[in-house]
Amino acid sequence: MNAAQRNRHDALLKATDFEDCPALTVQSTYGEIPHGRELSFAWLAGTVMTSLTSVMLMSAALYVSFQGQDTFSTAYEALQLSRPKVQGPVATDMSAKSSRIRPVAATRSDLEIIEALIRENVDGRDMIRNQPFMRIRATLATSATSLSDGIPDYDPVAILNATQPVTSAADTIEINTDIYGAEVEGEVAVRLADMPATFVPPHIISDQSAAEFVQRLINANTNIVGGAPTLAYVALSPSVRDLGLTTDAGTIGGIAENVTVVPKTTAASEVGLGRSERFLTLRDAAALPDVLGKNGFSANQSALVIDALRNVLPTTNLPTGMRLRILYGPLSRDATSLVPYRLSLYGPHQDQSYTHEVTVALTDTGQYVLGIEPDFIKFPEEDTEEINVANLPTVYRSIWETGRKHDLDDATIERIIGMYAYDVDMTKRIRAGDGIEILETAPDAGGRAELLYVSLTLGNTTRKLYRFGTEGGVVDFYDPDGETGKRFLTRRPVEGGGTLRSRFGYRIHPIFHTRKLHTGIDLAAPSGTPIHAAGDGIIKYYKWESGYGNKVEIQHVNGYETGYGHMSRYVDGLEVGSRVRQGQLIGYVGSTGQSTGPHLHFEIKINGNFVDPLSVKLPKDNILTQQYQGDFAQTMAQINDLMERKAAPVTPV
C-alpha cells in the first residue's frame, strides 16, 4: 500500500470514528480501576461472580415460591402475643370481614348418644330395657390431614374381603333394634296372661289402630295361628311412630345448605394442595389434646402445641363455647395431606362475644411457637371450612378421614368403603356438602361396637344400607330394596385399581391414528401387577389374540362376559374350561399386542354387545327373598326411628 492509499485509508477510518490505538494490555495498576486499553482480571472476575450470585439468589427465591414454602412465623412475630385492638366499628362490629373472601362450606360433625327401649327375650321372658346407640351425622372431610395418613392403598380386589357377609358367633354382640316405645326406668318384664272375656279396653284402642297392628303382625310373618287362645292387651298410643311400628322410611338429611364452591381455576387440582382455614365452636367442654387430634394434629404436633401454650394457657381443658381457628397448608408442592400452620383460640363470654386468647404458628423448623393474632374475622354460627378445590380428597380418603375423626376403628371404615365400592368410584374427588350418617351400638366393656346402618350422600344421590340377619346367623347390609351393595362383577379388576388412561367409546387410536371404538377401559399399572377375575365364571378364551396380546375371556351367568388384554403372562394351572371365582388371580399386567405401555385392557360384553365397564348398571350379588321382606321392612322402620330421634351432641369437635 503506497502513501496515497494509506492516507485515504486513514481518512476513511477517522470518518467512521475508528482510529489507530495501542494493543490491549493486562499491565494495569493493581487494585485500580482499569482505564483506556487496560484489562484487570480481578475486576472481571468480581463482575462475573456478582452476576452469578444474583442469578443464584433469584433462582432460590423462585424455587421456594414454586415449592409453596414460606415462613409461617418469625422470631419477631413470636414475641408479640397480641396486637393493639383497633378502636371504632371494627372492634365491636361482628360483621367485619377479612381482607379476602373465600368460598366456605358449613361442616357438620355430630356424635350423639341416643337411647331407646328394646324388647328382648331373657330365659324365656320378654324384657324391656334401655339400649344406647351411637349416631354420627357428618359432612365428608373436604381436606386430608394426618388423620388419614398411612391408610391402605385403594385396592378394589382387597375390598372383596371386607364385604363378605358376617356369620354371627356365640360371643358376638347381640344386635337388637326391637324398639318398644316410650322410656321407662330400669328393666320391665313383659308377661302375657289370659284376660277375662268381660274385659273392655279403653276407647283409645280403635278399630283402625287394632287393624293396623294386626296387619303389621301378618306382614312380619308372626305366627298368630295355633295353640290356646290368649288375649294380650296392647295399649296403643295415638302416634304409631312412638311405638316404632311405622314403615315410613322418611328422608334423612344429606342436602348441603349454605354451601358455595367457586374454584379459582379449572386446573386447580393439578397445581398441588392449597391453604384452607377451619372455624370451630365447641358445643361441650373438651380436652385440648382430643380436639387437636380430631382436627389433623399428629401426636407429636399436639405435644409441641401444648408445650408452646404451657406458660400462656392456664389449662388444657377447653370450656363450652371456646372457638378455634385453624389454618392448614401443605409442607411441599407434592404433599398429599395438609398440616396445621396456625392455631388460634378465642375465649367465650356470657354475652356470646369472644376475645382472642392465644395463637401458635408453625415455623420452618417444624416447631410451634407463640404468634400474633391473625386478622379479625367473625366466627360463623355453624362450623365452617374454606373450600379449596385443589384440597378436595377422593371419596376413599375422605371416608377414612371422617371415620377416624369420629373414632371408628379401621375394620369398620374398611367395611363401609367395601359396601359402596361397587356403586361408587372411590377414586373420584368429593364435592362440598357430601355427607355420611352412621348408626352403631354403644361400645361394650371391651370397646366393641357393631355397625347397624350407613347412609352415604354424594352429590344428589343418597345410598342407604341396613344391617339385617337371615337364617343361619348370616348378617349383611341391604339397601331399601333388599339388595346388597355388592355387584356380581367388579369394575376395576387389577390390584390397586390401576390408573384410568382411556375410557370406553370412540377415540383416535394411539398407534394407527384412526378414529375407532375403544371397546373397554385401559387401567395402567406397572408390569407384573396381578389381575383378578371380575366375577365367578368359566374361562372361554385363554391365548394370544391379535391386537390384545395375551388375552383371557371369562363367561359369566346371564349373558355377561369379561375380557382382559395385554397380559404379560398367565397364571399356571388355568385353561379354557377352568372355573374361577371372583377375585381369583388369572394373570399379570403387561404390554403385549398393540400397546403403548403396560396396562390392562378390560371390557364387558352383555349378550355379545360391548358396554362401558365404568357406567353399566350391574346386577347385585345378593337379594333378600320374599320370606324376609316383612322382617326387613320392620328393621328399616326401627332404624329410621332411631335416626330421627333428637339427641344432644356429646363431642362436636
Question: What confidence tens digit (pLDDT) does each residue in 142-165 have?
Answer: 889 989 888 988 876 677 666 666
Mean pLDDT of 571-596: 91
Q: Quick one: pLDDT band at residue 88, thresholds 50, 70, 90? A: very low
Q: Are 523 and 563 part of one and the same domain? A: yes
Q: Which of 397-408 are b and which e, b meaning 16 or more Cβ less than 10 Å from the residue's Cβ?
A: bbbbbbbbbbbb
Can you tell me the mean pLDDT for 455-460?
A: 92
Contact between 282 and 645 under an 8 Å Cβ cutoff? The reply is no
Q: Which of 170-184, 232-246, 370-384, 630-644 has the highest mean pLDDT?
A: 630-644
Alpha carbon 335 to chain centroid distance?
Answer: 17
Q: What is the mean pLDDT of residues 332-342?
A: 88
227 dihedral zone (left: phi>0; alpha: psi -120 to 50; beta): left
Q: Does an H or E element contain 343, and which?
A: strand 339-348
Domain check: are 62 and 75 in the same one? no
How much is the pLDDT for 540?
94
Nearest to 498, CA basis, from 599, 585, 381, 641: 599
Q: What is the pLDDT of residue 241?
A: 35
Cβ atoms of 415 and 120 closer than 8 Å: no
Cα separation, 72 vs 274, in Å, equals 14
Final residue in a domain of this structure, among 369, 387, 405? 387
Residue 488 pLDDT grade (very low, low, confident, very high; cuts 50, 70, 90): confident
Domain membership flag for residue 26: yes
287 in the same domain as 199:
no
Domain presence at residue 557? yes
Same domain, 506 and 579: yes
Same domain? For 123 and 184 the reply is yes
pLDDT in tens, 532-542: 999 889 999 99
Tell which residue, 336, 341, 313, has the closest CA to residue 326.
341
Give the cell for residue 523: 387401567
Q: Range of 79's domain? A: 71-96+275-387
Q: What is the pLDDT of residues 34-45, one digit of tens each?
A: 666 676 777 778
Give the pLDDT score at 238.
36
Supply the DSSP symbol for 243.
G
| pLDDT of residue 239 exceeding 50 | no
Q: Which of 39-43, 86-90, 224-228 has the highest mean pLDDT?
A: 39-43
Q: Yes or no: say if 538 and 578 are a contact pair by the CB < 8 Å rule.
A: yes
pTM to 2 decimals?
A: 0.61
Hey, what amino acid is at 263? P
Instruction: Clarify whether residues 236 and 126 are in a common domain.
Output: yes
Query: Domain check: are 42 and 82 in the same one?
Result: no
207-216, 298-307, 410-419, 588-597: least confidently modelled range: 207-216
pLDDT in tens, 171-207: 333 455 555 444 444 455 555 556 566 655 555 555 6
380 shares a domain with 354 = yes
Residue 524, pLDDT score: 92
Number of structural domains (the chain) is: 4
How many whole angstroms separate alpha carbon 57 and alpha carbon 593? 51
Between the alpha carbon of residue 487 and those of residues 178, 205, 365, 449, 612, the distances in Å are 30, 46, 50, 27, 15
Q: Would you give the DSSP letter of residue 235?
A: -
Q: Is 94 exposed, middle or buried (0-12, 13-18, 19+ CB in 10 A)?
A: exposed
Of 350, 370, 387, the last residue of a domain is: 387
Task: Report yes or no on 440 lying in a domain.
Answer: no
What confidence score (pLDDT) does residue 85 get?
41
- Do 555 and 590 fall within a single domain? yes
Same domain? 596 vs 556: yes
The enclosing domain of 545 has a CATH number of 2.70.70.10
The residue with greater pLDDT, 109 or 79, is 109
Same domain, 25 and 121: no
- For residue 404, being part of any structural domain is answered with no
Phi, psi of 631 (to 5 degrees): -65, -40
d(CA 249, CA 445): 32
The per-residue pLDDT for range 292-324, each reduced to its tens digit, is 999 999 999 999 999 999 888 888 899 999 999
CA distance 7 to 92: 91
Give the gyration radius of the chain's Cα atoms. 36
- Same domain? 309 vs 347: yes
Burial classification of residue 33, based on how many CB atoms lie within 10 Å of its CB (0-12 exposed, 13-18 middle, 19 or more buried): exposed
Mean pLDDT of 52-57: 90
Domain boundary among 365, 387, 409: 387
Confidence of residue 469 (pLDDT cuts 50, 70, 90): confident
- For residue 540, the number of C-alpha atoms closer than 13 Å in the C-beta half-sphere is 12
Q: Is the residue at 488 inside a domain? A: no
506-525: average pLDDT:
86
Is 629 inside any structural domain?
no
Could you tell me if residue 145 is inside a domain? no
Task: Determine, yes or no, domain membership for 162.
Answer: no
